[in-house]
Structure 1
Amino acid sequence: MAITPRRSRILCGLVVATVAFVLAAWQLVPALGHSDTLSVTLLTDRVGAGIQAGDAVRLDGVKVGSIDSIDTDDSVRQRISLRLDRGELTGVTDALDVDYAPGNLFGVSELTLLPATGGRALTDNVVIDLTGPNDSRAHDATISTLLRSVGQLTNDVLTPQLTTVLSKITADTRAFTPLVQTIVATVQNVADIQRLPSSYLLARYGSMVAGVPPTIQGLLDLLQAPFTNAYLAQPGKIDKFVANIDMIQGPLLGSITGLLNTGRTYYSGYTGMSVPLLNAMAAAVPEPQRSTEDLRLLLQRLERAMPDSGNGPVLNLAVDLRGVPALAAPLSALLTTPPAPSPQGGNR
Structure 2
Amino acid sequence: MSISRSQDFLRGSAEHQSRLLTATGVGVFALACAAVVGTATLYPRLTAPQGVEVGVEVPYVGPGVATGTKVVLHGQTVGRVSELDRTAADTVRLQLVLDEHQIDGLTDQFEIDYRPENYFGTSAVNILATPTGEKLESGLELKRTPRGDYTMSTMIEQGSSAIDGTLTSDMIKSLDKTVHYLDGVTPWIDTGVLVADRVARTQYALPTDLLSRFNDILGAAPEFSDQAIRSLMNIYDSPSYNRSPDGSIGVDDSVFDESDAGLALAGNKLFGQAGALLASHGEELTPLIQSVTAASDLFPHLSSGGLNPDAAREIVRRLDSAFVNGPDGKRLRLRIVLDDFPSLAAPLGLGPFTPTGGAR
Structure 2 vs 1, CA of residues 91 and 262 (structure 1 numbering), >3 Å: closer, same or farther?
farther
- Give the Å deviation of 1:95: 3.0
**Could you tell me which of 258, 273, 278 is aligned with 2:293?**
273
**Is the Cα contact below 8 Å between 1:57 and 1:63 reproduced in 2?**
yes
Equivalent AA in structure 2 for residue 219 of structure 1: I
Give the length in aligned residue pairs: 247
SS in 2 for 1:140: coil
Q: CA deviation at 1:46?
A: 0.8
Amino acid at match of 2:177: K
Tell me how far apart the structure 2 counterparts of residues 278 and 259 of structure 1 sit (CA, whole Å).
34
- Deviation at residue 214 of structure 1 after TM alignment: 1.3
Q: Which runs of 5+ in 1 are unaligned?
A: 1-23, 287-348
1:128 to 1:212, Cα distance in 2 relative to 1, 3 A: farther
Q: TM-score, normalised by structure 2?
A: 0.53
Taking the TM superposition and a 5 Å limit, the aligned residue runs for 1:256-271 are 256-258=270-272, 261-262=275-276, 265=279, 266=282, 270=289
Q: Take 1:239 and 1:62, find their aligned partners in 2: how far apart are those partners?
A: 82
In the TM superposition, residue 226 of structure 1 has moved relative to its aligned partner by: 7.2
Question: Relative contact order, CA 8 A, sep 6+: which one is greater?
Answer: 1
Q: Deviations over 1:159-197 (max 9, x none)?
A: 222112211222344344555566666767777888997
TM-score (norm 1): 0.54
Taking the aligned partners of 2:244 and 2:194, their CA distance within structure 1 comes to 50
Deviation at 1:71, TM superposition (A): 1.3
Of 39, 49, 61, the residue aligned with 2:53 is: 39
Q: Could you report, residue by residue, the CA deviation over 1:185-229 in whole angstroms, capped at 9, with x for unpaired residues?
A: 676777788899754367547634443211112112324787499
Which residue, 168, 181, 186 being the options, matches 1:159? 168
| 1:64 counterpart residue number | 78
Alignment of 1:86-125 (within 5 A): 86-125=100-139
CA distance in 1, matches of 2:253, 2:300: 51
Q: Aligned letter for 1:141? A: Y
CA distance in structure 2 between the partners assigned to 1:218 and 1:256 by the alignment: 32
Matched-pair identity in %: 21
Structure 2 distance, partners of 1:163, 1:106, is 30
In structure 2, the residue corresponding to 1:52 is in which secondary structure?
Answer: coil
* Distance in 2, Cα, partners of 1:37 & 1:116: 20
Match of 1:10 in 2: none
Which of 150, 157, 179 does residue 141 from structure 1 map onto?
150
For residue 168 of structure 1, the aligned residue among 172, 177, 183 is 177
Task: Quote how far apart the aligned CAs of 1:98 are.
Answer: 1.6
Between the aligned partners of 1:38 and 1:224, the Cα distance in structure 2 is 96
The alpha carbon displacement at 1:76 in A equals 0.5
1:36 and 1:87 in contact (8 A); partners too: no
Change (3 A) 1:92 1:239: closer
Q: Deviations over 1:224-257 (max 9, x none)?
A: 787499xx99xxxx99967854552332343343
Distance 1:59 1:219 in 2: 74
CA shift, 1:80, in A, is 0.5
Structure 2 distance, partners of 1:178, 1:72, is 61
CA RMSD in angstroms, aligned pairs only: 4.6
The 2-side partners of 1:245 and 1:53 are apart by 92
Say if 1:86 and 1:178 are closer, same or farther in 2 by CA, change over 3 A.
closer
Q: Is the 8 A contact 1:51 1:110 kept in 2?
A: yes
Counterpart AA for 2:301: A
Post-superposition CA distance 1:54-82 (Å, at most 9, x none): 33222223332222211122211111111
Does 2:138 align with 1:129?
no
In 1, the alpha carbon distance for the partners of 2:86 and 2:178 equals 53
* C-alpha deviation, 1:83, in angstroms: 1.7
Letter in 2 for 1:212: A
How many angstroms apart in 2 are the aligned matches of 1:107 and 1:124?
30
